[in-house]
Amino acid sequence: MTRIFRLTMAQLNPTLGDLAGNAALAAQAWAEGKAAGADLVVLPEMFLTGYQTQDLVRKPAFVADAASRLDALARACADGPVLGIGLPMVEDDNLYNCYVYLAGGKITARFRKHFLPNFNVFDEVRLFNSAAISGPVTLAGGPRIGTPICEDAWSPDVCETMVESGAQILVVPNGSPYFRDKFPIRLQTMIARVVENDVPLVYLNMIGGQDDQMFDGGSFVLNRGGKLAVQLPVFDAAITHVDFQETDQGWVTLDGPKALLPDDLEQDYRAMVEALRDYLRKTGFGKVLLGLSGGIDSAIVAAIAVDALGADQVRCVMLPSEYTSQASLDDAAAAARALGCRYDTVSIAGPRAAVTEALAPLFGDMPADLTEENIQSRIRGLLLMAQSNKFGEMLLTTGNKSEVAVGYATIYGDMAGGYNPIKDMYKTRVFDICRWRNAHHRDWMQGPAGQVIPPAIIDKPPSAELRPDQRDDDSLPPYDVLDGILAMLVDGDASVADCVAAGYDRATVKKIEHLVYISEYKRFQAAPGVRLSDRAFWLDRRYPIVNRWRDPS
């Protein structure tokens, strides 16, 4: 009689620190697997606590609470399939990133992470101890399972050792955060492990937002030879049952569902929507407000917010001055109308006059300069934060990555706010994403279909409108030039000479380099925002605030 082993993959969204809620999600997935006749139900890396814990995992009370919740979960899931789940565990005064299998009301097998990632957003070497490579285990009378935890599968050693020790299937639990075009890297890496070891591989990733990171799922199963057998969607929760059949040549995965993956623009937009939605849900906010200026950045943030929360939970506020053009007033109103959200107007004329009068004895006859421009921005920040406090709405800030990089934003002004959905998106890509959103609508969007960013906003020259006839390119190079230089200096860590060799003017490159370095103090105080690239500002790129070095090339 042909033996079939059924494994249930639970691609779900934990909340960091919500141990009871995460355990409940695990129990629900286990119940679905039990109802489907599964032999094994698996959840992602560190699912019981959520991921990444950062220094929270260094609190003994937190780790002890996780252990207590695990014991209760084991007892609740005693009669049915084996349950696999990740969490931190202490053994002999060492803290490990662990993955355990529960059966019969107790832990029956335990794997400890060997390779600890220490790059980009990861610093697990600081938090965990590296463990010896664990051997495979037999679960529910089925195949021998090897469990390399996330980073353990990104190099050949752990998988090879487990298979040499008898593993017939590799189950890889992951907490792998999104960045653009990461999926092909994951897939090709796991194909390499399968080809090297000639066994099927289950790659299970979590979904959901955590601070600046978005876990995008996209779990899959590879058959021997590296052929794709099962593909789960990106960003969506999914519980899928996968059957393995024993043959004379070993265990083989039977073909299952294969979700189609969207293009990179759609994935970026979905990441921004889901990350905002999760950030608000997990921090306890239900509604947001933002300053809607009539410009493209605030327009796309408004669209993201409406798609994440629904129009009823988003409030847009225009804060005009004498420099605000009628076109901006019309465009902002049109954007709010297209999205269906509330639109209020609060003039900054009175507060600005009061501040000007208060400072007049000190400023005297000194000529107006950037100081007065920043006062306008800071008054707007004050008025928006006051409304945030009064109405319990989280204030969204709207600076794109180009502005964040060179400090083209006013600290305590338009940088005020609790979250920035477009923090890791360069200005040129903001234009692309606006056009994409106008042309596409998906079921996961709570906003309306059609043109939600008026074309006039996309087509007009960008301006902060803090002085007469102001344009962004008065102070900065055109955005296609600026973004090209920033992509090299920031994302690629290129030298000034590299940028010049690529065709950029040296004086322009040196100016941008200087602006990037002197703006570090602003980024240190900036609101968090979703990571879309592998060189986002915050954990990916950690630079000193005080820094006198400049590239001499």
Closest by CA position to 314, among listed 347, 292, 345: 292
Q: What are phi and psi of 511, to 5 degrees?
A: -65, -45
Any known ligand binding at 398? Answer: yes
What is the pLDDT, as a whole number, of residue 29? 98
In this structure, the answer to whether residues 47 and 181 fall within a common structural domain is: yes
In this structure, the answer to whether residues 280 and 366 fall within a common structural domain is: yes
- pTM beyond 0.85: yes
What is the pLDDT, as a whole number, of residue 473? 75
Closest by CA position to 62, among listed 127, 120, 3, 2: 127
Q: Residue 375 sits in which domain range?
A: 273-524
In this structure, the answer to whether residues 99 and 44 fall within a common structural domain is: yes
In this structure, the answer to whether residues 256 and 322 fall within a common structural domain is: no
Q: pLDDT tens digit string along 496-506?
A: 999 999 999 99
In this structure, the answer to whether residues 442 and 411 fall within a common structural domain is: yes
In this structure, the answer to whether residues 196 and 287 fall within a common structural domain is: no
Any known ligand binding at 292? Answer: yes
Q: Return mean pLDDT, the chain.
A: 96
In this structure, the answer to whether residues 223 and 131 fall within a common structural domain is: yes
Rounded distance, CA 306 to CA 341, Å?
Answer: 8
In the residue annotation, 77 being an active-site residue is answered as no
Q: pLDDT tens digit string along 426-440?
A: 999 999 999 999 999
In this structure, the answer to whether residues 239 and 314 fall within a common structural domain is: no
When divided into structural domains, the chain yields a total of 2
Side chain identity, residue 347: S
Q: Is residue 553 part of a domain?
A: no
Q: Is residue 530 part of a domain?
A: no
Any known ligand binding at 130? Answer: no
Which of the following is catalytic: 113, 282, 401, 427?
113
Q: Is residue 449 part of a domain?
A: yes
Which of the following is catalytic: 77, 98, 150, 316?
150
The 8 Å CB, 24+ separation contacts for 324-328 are 324/293, 324/294, 324/465, 325/294, 325/465, 327/294, 327/456, 327/460, 328/293, 328/294, 328/295, 328/465
Q: Is residue 538 part of a domain?
A: no
3-state SS, residue 187: helix
Q: Is residue 531 part of a domain?
A: no
Any known ligand binding at 297? Answer: yes
Virtual CA dihedral for 289, 294, 297, 303, nearest 10 degrees? 60
Any known ligand binding at 176? Answer: yes
Rounded distance, CA 42 to CA 151, Å?
Answer: 17
Q: Is residue 537 part of a domain?
A: no
- Burial profile 316-325: b = 16 or more Cβ within 10 angstroms, e = fewer: bbbbbbebbe
In this structure, the answer to whether residues 256 and 277 fall within a common structural domain is: no
Q: Which of 261, 283, 317 is the last residue of a domain?
A: 261
What is the pLDDT, as a whole number, of residue 1? 61
Q: Is residue 552 part of a domain?
A: no
Any known ligand binding at 389? Answer: no
Secondary structure of 78-144 in the HEC alphabet?
CCCCEEEEEEEEEECCEEEEEEEEEECCEEEEEEECCCCCCCCCCCHHHHCCCCCCCCCEECCCCCE
Q: Is residue 481 part of a domain?
A: yes
Q: What is the CATH number of the domain that holds 435?
A: 3.40.50.620
In this structure, the answer to whether residues 210 and 320 fall within a common structural domain is: no
Q: Which of 261, 296, 311 is the last residue of a domain?
A: 261
Which of the following is catalytic: 45, 373, 465, 513?
45
In the residue annotation, 45 being an active-site residue is answered as yes
In the residue annotation, 98 being an active-site residue is answered as no
Any known ligand binding at 201? Answer: no
Any known ligand binding at 107? Answer: no
Any known ligand binding at 226? Answer: no
Q: Which of 236, 261, 286 is the last residue of a domain?
A: 261
Q: What is the CATH number of the domain that holds 92?
A: 3.60.110.10
What is the pLDDT, as a whole number, of residue 470? 75
Cis peptide before 446 (omega within 30 of 0): no
Side chain identity, residue 86: G
Tokens of 491: 């994302």
In this structure, the answer to whether residues 365 and 425 fall within a common structural domain is: yes
In this structure, the answer to whether residues 398 and 501 fall within a common structural domain is: yes
User: CB-hemisphere CA count at 13 Å for 393?
Assistant: 25
pLDDT tens over the chain, length 553 residues: 679 999 999 999 999 999 999 999 999 999 999 999 999 999 999 999 999 999 999 999 999 999 999 999 999 999 999 999 999 999 999 999 999 999 999 999 999 999 999 989 999 999 999 999 999 999 999 999 999 999 999 999 999 999 999 999 999 999 999 999 999 999 999 999 999 999 999 999 999 999 999 999 999 999 999 999 999 999 999 999 999 999 988 999 999 999 999 999 999 999 999 999 999 999 999 999 999 999 999 999 999 999 999 999 999 999 999 888 999 999 999 999 999 999 999 999 999 999 999 999 999 999 999 999 999 999 999 999 999 999 999 999 999 999 999 999 999 999 999 999 999 999 999 999 999 999 999 999 999 999 999 999 999 887 776 777 777 777 899 999 999 999 999 999 999 999 999 999 999 999 999 999 999 999 999 999 999 999 999 999 999 999 999 999 9
